[in-house]
Structure 1
Amino acid sequence: MLERNPIFPGIIELNFQAREVLGCNVYLIYDANEWALVDIGYEETVDEFVDIIRQLDFPLSQCKTLIATHADVDHIQGLAKLKSILKTTVTAHPHAVRPLAEGDPLWTLAEIEAQNLKLEMPKVDVEHQVDNGDIIKVGNLEIEVWHTPGHTNSQLAFRIGDVLLSGDNIYRDGCIGAIDAHHGSDIKAFIKSLERIRDSDVKWLAPSHGPIFANDRDFMNRTIDRVRGYLHMADFGTLAESWPLMDQWDDEVAEGKLPEGLSG
Structure 2
Amino acid sequence: MLARKPIFPGIIELNFQAGEVLGCNVYLVHDADEWVLIDIGYEETVEDYIEVIRQIDFPLSRCKTLVATHADVDHIQGLAKAKQLLKTTVTSHPNAVRPLEEGDTLVTLAEIEAQNLKMAMPKVKIDHQVNDGDIIKVGELEIEVWHTPGHTDSQLAFRIGDVLLSGDNIYRDGCIGAIDAHHGSDIKAFVKSLERIRDSDVKWLAPSHGPMFKNDSDFMNKTIDRVRGYLKMADFGTLADSWPLMDEWDDEVAEGKLPDGLGVTT
**Unaligned stretches of 5+ residues in structure 1:** none
Which residue of 2 is the match for residue 245 of structure 1? 245
Which residue of 1 is the match for residue 162 of structure 2? 162
TM-score by length of 1: 0.98
Q: How does 1:196-215 map to 2 (within 5 A)?
A: 196-215=196-215
Q: CA RMSD in A?
A: 0.9
State the alpha-carbon separation in 2 of the partners of residues 125 and 181 from structure 1.
25
Shift of 1:143: 0.3
Which residue of 2 is the match for residue 10 of structure 1? 10
Q: Does 1:135 align with 2:135?
A: yes
State the alpha-carbon separation in 1 of the partners of residues 154 and 28 from structure 2.
21
Shift of 1:255: 2.3
Contact 1:153 1:184 in 2 (8 A): yes
Bigger mean CA deviation after superposition, 119-128 or 247-256 = 247-256
Q: Does 1:233 align with 2:233?
A: yes
SS across alignment from 1:54: helix
Shift of 1:236: 6.6
Percent of residue pairs bearing the same amino acid type: 83
Shift of 1:259: 1.1
State the alpha-carbon separation in 2 of the partners of residues 258 and 235 from structure 1.
21
Question: One-letter code of the match for 1:101?
Answer: E
Which residue of 1 is the match for residue 124 of structure 2? 124
Which residue of 1 is the match for residue 88 of structure 2? 88
State the alpha-carbon separation in 1 of the partners of residues 204 and 94 from structure 2.
27
Bigger mean CA deviation after superposition, 245-254 or 148-157 = 245-254
Aligned residues: 264
Which residue of 2 is the match for residue 109 of structure 1? 109
Contact 1:179 1:236 in 2 (8 A): no
Shift of 1:233: 1.0
Query: What whole-Å deviation, never above 9, does each CA across 1:84-134 have from its counterpart, x for those lacking one?
Result: 011100000000000000000001000111111000100001100000000
Shift of 1:235: 5.2
Question: One-letter code of the match for 1:157?
Answer: A
Shift of 1:238: 4.7
SS across alignment from 1:175: coil
Q: Does 1:20 align with 2:53?
A: no
**Unaligned stretches of 5+ residues in structure 2:** none
